[in-house]
Amino acid sequence: MRHSLTALAAAVTMAAAPAMAQETLITANPDLIAAQLQAAGLKTELGTDSAGDPSIVSFAAESNFEVYFYGCTAGKDCLSVQMNACFDAPNGIAFEVINTWNFDMRYGKASVDDAKDPCLKMDVDLTKGVAAETFQSSLKTWVDLLGRFRTLLTG
């Protein structure tokens, strides 16, 4: 009986190994990130930023946003991404509103630019890669936060 349980445990372990090895790891590769955005039903437009690193323009929660790539070597082999949405606020936004957002929210940090226009950012570290499911969860968090931030700004 003991040998049967050992053989069964070994068979289960061997069966699970290929499934784990086949899990898609999402890295800071523009094509992989664009595919993940598209899998979430979002449109994508690949481009480059002013530093020559990849970028993606997308739209969610009634807002445009960009995905910036960081830690890149010669415009590729990037280590992380940042989702970023900035909004035009003709009268600016009070720093107290931004401070309250940052105090209350664990993810998605807000800031203001020189013209007091509000921006929302969320970083995702992909140095070692993450499961596609994990990246989708981060993307869902971003879209939720983007909607909340837009509501904060528009009332």
Structure tokens at 23: 């899990």
List phi, psi (to 5°) of 134: -70, -40
Say if residue 4's pLDDT is above 70. Answer: no
Task: Tell me how long the chain is.
Answer: 155
Classify domain 24-154 at the CATH topology level.
Yope Regulator; Chain: A, (3.30.1460)
Cα–Cα distance, 34 to 103 (Å, whole number)? 31
Mean pLDDT of 94-116: 93
* CA dist., res. 134 & res. 119, Å (int): 24
Q: What tens digit of pLDDT does each residue of 56-97 get?
A: 999 999 999 999 999 999 888 899 999 999 999 988 899 999
Element (H, E) at 26: strand 25-26
| Full-model pTM | 0.83
* pLDDT for residue 22: 56
Model confidence band, residue 114 (pLDDT cutoffs 50, 70, 90): confident
- Between CA 73 and CA 78, with CA 139 as vertex, the angle to 5 degrees is 5
- Annotated domain spans of the chain: 24-154
Element (H, E) at 133: helix 132-154
